[in-house]
Amino acid sequence: MMRSRNVVRGAGVLALAALSLLGAFGCSKKVMDPNSRPVPEGQQNGQLLMMGWHEQGSFWFAIIDPGTPNDPTDDVLGKGGIDYWADPAGVRTSTFDISQSNELEPFRVGSDGNSTPMFDFLLQPSVRLIGTDLESYDFEDFSPLPEPRYYSRGALNNVVTPASPVSNAAGAFPSSDENMLFVPPPKLPARDSVLDVRFTDDSRAVFYVVEIGDASGVLGTGDVFSFERRLFGIPSPLLPGLRALNGLTLLMPGGSGQTGFQVRLTSKRWPLFFHVRVTAFDGSGRMVNRLNNFLHVHTAGGGQNVETYEPLGGAVEVLDPYPDAVNPVPPPLTLSRDDALAILQAHGGGNLRTVSHLAASGGSGAPAASEAFTDAVKQLVASPMFAKQASDERFRAIRQQMGLSPGAAVPASRLIGSTKH
């Protein structure tokens, strides 16, 4: 359903010099240069949606029990670490584009209130969603201002005109929450074949980016599965690198999480394993919250029990309507990010020292989706929720809402509903 384009990411560009931001944008007494341009030239016509967030550490760890499971007093913290995509000081952005543009020009608002191009080249799309005319562009600012603010402008075949689309202004908080909760259980009961996506709403959210992918590649044991989970844990509206190619992306308005959406599926291959990623953004395009459950994996060997806790960057949902009567697939052991953090802190691991940067090793290549998941995606694409017209309506309504009243959410009843049938 997707194909990739050559990726030009911020990790390979020159670091940008840090500047101090004026106390407030648009101060009424500030003398503006006659050639000043707070917003890039072009049309803010609702065709570009820009999002920003500071890089934020994603932690993982293992608790070692020396063969005495009934005695927790001798359990100790084993290996563990904190992951970043490229740089702990960086601010990352994504811009969704439904225009006819095929390149993107990013801008940063400086301390003087003017927007200036960030690079001397145009960005190519990192991912294009076939059938929706939606592309995603990404870059990272390695020397962001204290209160960063960005725009992006579309270009067509290296040409920019006064009619080129311009995004909303996107900022970034120093950090964002990770306490959204997925409402359905990790494994739905027998005879239930409905993909059920529901999550707790964040009152600050004007919109959510929901990504549905194949979870079969992150539910096993071993280094390969562990690395995939750590990549999934990196904050981002889409899975990092080319992993977004294996899934579907949906924009949902603020206030729609508790109702969510439901799609009944059929398959010749059960069970089906879904990874659901949800990221919340406010009216200024800033990431405010995300769903980030942890997977608990138990292994034993050498007289030790090892309990490993790794981020999923979302939640897992397993559909198994006709379970094997003898050996049914067990539900994944998951817990919230806050519960995982409490376990870590209880074992004295509040300050993990191992820091990794995953961009170099996680930006290319992606495990192929299973045939069962691919078949399920075809059914999802055929549902009304994922129709191009419906997707475009949600996109434009969210952009309009951000421009008219950044603090308010789009009425969920107008834009989203159940597709259970």
Q: How much is the pLDDT for 147?
A: 96
Task: Kindly indicate the confidence band of residue 128, based on its pLDDT and cuts at 50, 70 and 90.
Answer: confident
Cβ atoms of residues 165 and 41 within 8 Å: no
3-class DSSP state of 362: helix
Domains of the chain: 2-22+31-54+89-171 (2.60.40.10), 58-86+176-415 (no CATH)
pLDDT single digits (tens) 102-125: 999 999 999 999 999 999 999 999
- 286: which DSSP letter? B
Averaged over 213-227, what is the pLDDT? 90
Q: Is residue 10 predicted with pLDDT exceeding 90?
A: no
Q: Is residue 407 predicted with pLDDT exceeding 80?
A: no
Q: Find, among 259, 278, 83, the residue nearest to 180 by Cα.
A: 278
Which residue carries 């940008």 as its tokens? 16
Q: Is residue 343 predicted with pLDDT exceeding 90?
A: yes
Structure tokens belonging to residue 203? 């009152």
β-bridge mates for residue 350, sequence order:
none
Cβ atoms of residues 59 and 292 within 8 Å: no
Q: Is residue 410 predicted with pLDDT exceeding 70?
A: no
Structure tokens belonging to residue 171? 């900022």
Q: Is residue 132 predicted with pLDDT exceeding 70?
A: no
Question: Where are any strands of DSSP class E within 15-133?
Answer: 48-54, 58-65, 76-84, 91-97, 103-109, 115-117, 127-129
Q: Is residue 35 predicted with pLDDT exceeding 80?
A: no
Q: Is residue 317 predicted with pLDDT exceeding 50?
A: yes
Q: What whole-number distance in Å separates Cα of residue 129 and Cα of residue 84?
A: 26
The percentage of residues in the chain with a pLDDT greater than 90, rounded to a whole number, is 69
Cβ atoms of residues 363 and 238 within 8 Å: no
Helices (H) and strands (E) in the chain, counts: 6, 22
* pTM for the predicted model, two decimal places: 0.87
For the beta carbon of residue 20, count every other beta carbon within 10 angstroms: 9
Cβ atoms of residues 293 and 182 within 8 Å: yes
Buried/exposed code over 81-96 (b: 16+ C-beta within 10 A; e: otherwise): ebbbbbbeebbbbbbb
Q: How much is the pLDDT for 23?
A: 34
Q: Which range is most confident: 10-14, 129-133, 350-354?
A: 350-354
Cβ atoms of residues 111 and 100 within 8 Å: no
pLDDT top residue among 250 and 20: 250
Cβ atoms of residues 253 and 415 within 8 Å: yes
Q: How much is the pLDDT for 25?
A: 33
Q: Is residue 26 predicted with pLDDT exceeding 50?
A: no
Q: What whole-number distance in Å separates Cα of residue 106 and Cα of residue 155?
A: 11
Reduced to 3 DSSP states, what percent helix, strand and coil does the chain have, rounded to the nearest 5? Answer: 15, 35, 50
Q: What whole-number distance in Å separates Cα of residue 290 and Cα of residue 179?
A: 7
Averaged over 259-267, what is the pLDDT? 96
Q: What whole-number distance in Å separates Cα of residue 110 and Cα of residue 85?
A: 25
pLDDT single digits (tens) 359-396: 988 766 666 788 899 899 999 989 988 888 898 899 98
pLDDT top residue among 111 and 12: 111
pLDDT top residue among 243 and 186: 186
The percentage of residues in the chain with a pLDDT greater than 70, rounded to a whole number, is 84
Q: How much is the pLDDT for 337?
A: 97
Query: In sequence order, what are the residues at sequence separation of 6 or more whose Cβ sits closer than 8 angstroms to the Cβ of residue 343?
Result: 63, 309
